[in-house]
């Protein structure tokens, strides 16, 4: 701090002497300026302040759009962006991935936090009972610890989502695939009649009277 104070005092004295015409300190000031000019010249610096960088000219709209030039083809996404439906009255389950119309105040929760059973939700939406559960395909892969992971992909996945099963070794894997053969079907099972599902969902249809009673 003492050195800094001395430098400040010396600079102040030089400035004062220059302003009052003191020749000794004026010569010192000229010498300091000359040394400063020499240092800047050695560094390749200019005494003239650098001009500010020019700003690029703003881009103008050419009026051309992708698809106007030869070889360019614009994809029409009008149909893809149309909403598949609206949940103004609320819904416990979204049946299909796509674009939907949301309204102010509605709430959307992630799939992982939706506790609604898929099959029950679909029956409430469509009014149909669940179709028979049949396996469309089983894919198997080996895990890092040597176990076999089986993924069952069912027909009508909205009602019967994929299931995962684990076999500890190749013998268990073969036994699992053999046991699942009766549950597999190349063709999807038919959906139950709508009236049967609606009756089951409502739970208010009277049972048919037993003959003789």
Rg (CA), the chain: 42
Q: Which of 190, 189, 141 is nearest to 167 (CA)?
A: 141
Least-confidence region, from 41-45, 117-121, 163-167: 117-121
pLDDT, position 135? 93
Q: Which of 167, 157, 158, 165 is nearest to 135 (CA)?
A: 157
pLDDT, position 120? 61
Q: Does the structure show a pLDDT above 70 at 17?
A: no
Length of the chain (residues): 213
pLDDT, position 134? 92
Higher pLDDT among residues 84 and 149, named by residue: 149
pLDDT, position 205? 42
Residue with tokens 């009008």: 78
Least-confidence region, from 27-36, 64-73, 74-83, 196-205: 196-205
Q: Which of 163, 162, 154, 159 is nearest to 186 (CA)?
A: 154
- Between CA 169 and CA 194 the distance in angstroms is 44
The conformation of residue 6, written as its DSSP 8-state character, comes to H
Phi and psi for 126 in degrees, rounded to 5?
-90, -20
pLDDT, position 21? 52
Highest mean pLDDT of the ranges 157-161, 179-183, 203-207: 179-183
Average pLDDT, the chain: 73
- Between CA 65 and CA 179 the distance in angstroms is 60
pTM over 0.85, yes/no: no
Q: Does the structure show a pLDDT above 80 at 154?
A: yes
Burial class, 115, CB count within 10 angstroms (exposed 0-12 / middle 13-18 / buried 19+) = exposed
Q: Which of 129, 141, 148 is nearest to 190 (CA)?
A: 129
The string of pLDDT tens digits covering residues 27-48 is: 666 777 777 777 777 766 655 6
Residue 179, helix vs strand vs coil: helix
> Where does the pLDDT of residue 198 fall: very low under 50, low under 70, confident under 90, or very high at 90 and above?
very low
- Between CA 43 and CA 81 the distance in angstroms is 62
Sign of the C-alpha dihedral computed for residues 44, 49, 53 and 54 taken in this order: negative
Report yes or no: 134 and 188 within 8 Å, Cβ to Cβ.
Answer: yes
Those residues whose C-beta lies under 8 Å from the C-beta of residue 193, and which sit 6 or more positions away, are: none
Q: How large is the average pLDDT for residues 63-75? A: 79
pLDDT, position 60? 82
Least-confidence region, from 27-31, 44-48, 190-194, 203-207: 203-207
């Amino acid at each position: 701090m003492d050195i800094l104070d001395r430098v400040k005092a010396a600079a102040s004295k030089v400035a004062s002497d220059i302003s009052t015409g003191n020749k000794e300190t004026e010569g010192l000031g000229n010498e300091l300026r000359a040394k400063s000019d020499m240092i800047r010249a050695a560094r390749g610096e200019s005494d003239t302040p650098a001009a500010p960088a020019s700003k690029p000219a703003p881009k103008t709209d050419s009026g051309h759009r992708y698809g106007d030039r030869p070889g360019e083809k614009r994809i029409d996404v009008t149909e893809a962006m149309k909403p598949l439906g609206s949940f103004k009255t609320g819904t416990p389950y979204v049946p299909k991935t796509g674009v939907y119309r949301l309204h102010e105040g509605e709430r959307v929760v992630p799939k992982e936090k939706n506790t609604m059973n898929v099959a029950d939700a679909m029956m409430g939406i469509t009014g149909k009972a669940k179709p028979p559960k049949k396996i469309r395909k089983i894919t198997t892969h080996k895990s890092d610890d040597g176990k076999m992971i089986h993924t069952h992909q069912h027909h009508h996945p909205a009602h019967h989502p994929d299931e995962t099963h684990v076999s500890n070794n190749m013998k268990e894997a073969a036994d699992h695939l053999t046991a699942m053969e009766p549950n597999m079907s190349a063709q999807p099972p038919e959906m139950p009649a709508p009236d049967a599902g609606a009756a089951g969902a409502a739970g208010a249809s009277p049972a048919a009277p037993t003959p003789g009673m």
